Amino acid sequence: MAKKEGTKQIADNRKARHEYFVLESFEAGIELFGTEVKSIRKGAVNLRDSWCDLSEDGQLFVKGMHVSPYEQGNIFNREPTRDRRLLMHKREIIRLRAEVMKQGLTLIPLTLYFKDSKVKVQLGLCKGKRLHDKRAAAVEKDAFREMQRHTKISAQ
């Protein structure tokens, strides 16, 4: 069987970009079982209320990510919202732990995608937005849309 190349986005956590400032992003592998991969290929995954947690023994887990059970999986299906281990280099995990502890930041999964034939997660090192930050972001977005609209009209 030929190896698939390139990237294909599976799921996006748009709520995270609304609720948090993304300071830095990282790529991590994810430990999955066969029926979970098949379910993810069908797009039956939700990142909306998920977050990442660092364990005491230096491992990184994604919690709250919902992967729907595979229809033909019978006894091989796992619990949909189980904790899944993320695969990163140890020095990266140590650095993330230091950032989270020192500055009070949060690790949030931003996107889930296939890179070649592997499932990868893009993690964001995030800082929470306050209400006035969300309003300012909405004003900026509206101004950008208005500017695009005017340039499109003037180009015609």
55-61: list long-range contacts, CB under 8 Å, 24+ apart: 58/90, 58/93, 58/94, 58/97, 59/85, 59/93, 60/28, 60/85, 60/86, 60/88, 60/93, 60/96, 60/107, 61/85, 61/86
Asked which of 29-33, 135-139, 145-149 is least confident by mean pLDDT, the reply is: 135-139
Which candidate, 13, 43, 11, 10, places its Cα nearest to that of 124?
13
For residue 33, what are its two tokens?
């079982």
- Per-domain residue ranges for the chain? 7-130
Higher pLDDT, 68 or 25: 25
Counting residues of the chain whose pLDDT is more than 70, the rounded percentage is 96
132: confidence class by pLDDT, cuts 50, 70, 90:
confident
pTM attached to this predicted model: 0.75
Is 70 exceeded by the pLDDT of residue 84?
Answer: yes
The CATH number for 7-130, chosen from 2.10.109.10, 3.40.930.10, 2.40.280.10, 3.30.70.330, is: 2.40.280.10
